[in-house]
């Protein structure tokens, strides 16, 4: 019976749906996390009577035909790139991107990763790094005698030095944008890598055309909507139960046939 395998594909699809929802909820408090959404497609069809075929020698055509579907499959898990809210932290090394763009992070293997998580720190040499110690492009170093750090909307890092009145500009953050942000591949630790689907990154200064501005002392929160996720979870649970009911009903039908004498 086709309904057995069809119901099984439906249960597998809803199982993945619940896994995606649980991942979203688990990262509710992850800085700059972007929620995921699964997308499903119907499987191949069996043509028991092909639509448009001739039904007689006179050339009459079958208007509808008979197609039987074989279930559902997962097509993709999209990443929703909608910006999260900005929350005040008052930490001078917390920087949020208000608009488009990603910070560029230099990985130990020489690759460049991209992130919107602006929770930065200083390493032993005074260089601005991520929480994992990776350098943030273009590799800005704060002098040891700095008493204050200021980051303006265009990404310029200004430090006040002990004994000097005028602040010193030590460099400017660079952002990157992509033709298709959803094409970036997530590698964990709030980092993404370029792929052929994302397109080639375009670098620019914050505040320029097509790039967002920076907000010092703020962090971008997750864009997960708890109410929406719980609603989706209930819908996925009910869909899972209905698909299991299809399998149960198919089993009862097969049992009825096997009991015929």
Average pLDDT of the residues in 85-110: 93
Q: How far apart (Å, rounded) are the C-alpha atoms in residues 100 and 104?
A: 13
pLDDT at 2 over 90: no
Query: What was the pLDDT predicted at 63?
Result: 82
DSSP-derived secondary structure letter, 207 = T
How much of the chain exceeds pLDDT 70, in percent? Answer: 100
Q: How far apart (Å, rounded) are the C-alpha atoms in residues 211 and 220?
A: 16
Q: How far apart (Å, rounded) are the C-alpha atoms in residues 81 and 114?
A: 14
Q: For residue range 203-256, what is the model confidence (pLDDT) as tens digits?
A: 999 999 999 999 999 999 999 999 999 999 999 999 999 999 999 999 898 888
Which residue carries 């279930």 as its tokens?
A: 71
Average pLDDT of the residues in 256-261: 84
Burial 26-63 (b: 16+ CB within 10 A, else e): ebeeebbbbbbebebeeeeeeeeeeeeeeeeeeeeeee
pLDDT at 163 over 80: no
For residue 167, what are the CA distances in angstroms to 15, 202, 241? 56, 30, 64
Average pLDDT of the residues in 88-95: 92
Cα torsion angle, 213, 113, 90, 92, sign: negative
DSSP-derived secondary structure letter, 15 = H
Query: What was the pLDDT predicted at 187?
Result: 92
Query: What was the pLDDT predicted at 147?
Result: 85
CB neighbours (10 Å) of residue 240? 18
pLDDT at 122 over 80: yes
Phi, psi of 235 (to 5 degrees): -60, -40
Q: For residue range 29-63, what is the model confidence (pLDDT) as tens digits?
A: 999 999 999 999 988 888 877 887 877 777 788 78
Q: How far apart (Å, rounded) are the C-alpha atoms in residues 19 and 78?
A: 14
Question: Which residue from 39, 40, 44, 50 is spatially nearest to 69, judged by alpha carbons?
Answer: 44
Cα torsion angle, 189, 201, 25, 214, sign: positive
Find out whether 135 and 129 touch, Cβ atoms under 8 Å.
yes
Query: What was the pLDDT predicted at 28?
Result: 93
């Amino acid at each position: 019976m086709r309904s057995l395998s069809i119901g099984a594909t439906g249960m597998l699809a809803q199982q993945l749906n619940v896994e995606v929802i649980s991942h979203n909820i688990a990262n509710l408090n992850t800085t700059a996390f972007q929620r995921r959404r699964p997308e499903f497609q119907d499987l191949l069809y069996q043509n028991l009577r092909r639509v448009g075929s001739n039904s007689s020698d006179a050339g009459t055509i079958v208007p509808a035909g008979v197609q039987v579907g074989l279930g559902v499959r997962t097509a993709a898990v999209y990443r929703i790139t909608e910006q999260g809210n900005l929350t005040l932290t008052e930490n001078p090394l917390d920087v949020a991107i208000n608009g488009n763009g990603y910070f560029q992070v230099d990985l130990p293997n020489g690759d460049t990763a991209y992130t919107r998580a602006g929770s930065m720190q200083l390493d032993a040499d005074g260089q601005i790094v991520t929480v994992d110690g990776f350098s943030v492009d273009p590799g800005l170093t704060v002098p040891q005698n700095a008493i204050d750090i200021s980051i303006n909307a265009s990404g310029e890092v200004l430090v006040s030095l002990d004994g000097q009145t005028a602040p010193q500009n030590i460099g400017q953050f660079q952002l990157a944008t992509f033709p298709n942000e959803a094409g970036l591949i997530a590698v964990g630790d709030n980092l993404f890598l370029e792929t052929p689907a994302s397109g080639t990154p375009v670098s620019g200064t914050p505040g320029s055309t097509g790039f967002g501005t920076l907000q010092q002392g703020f962090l971008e929160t997750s864009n997960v909507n708890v109410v929406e996720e719980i609603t989706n979870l209930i819908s996925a649970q009910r869909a899972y139960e209905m698909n299991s009911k299809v399998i149960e009903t198919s089993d009862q039908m097969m049992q009825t046939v096997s009991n015929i004498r």
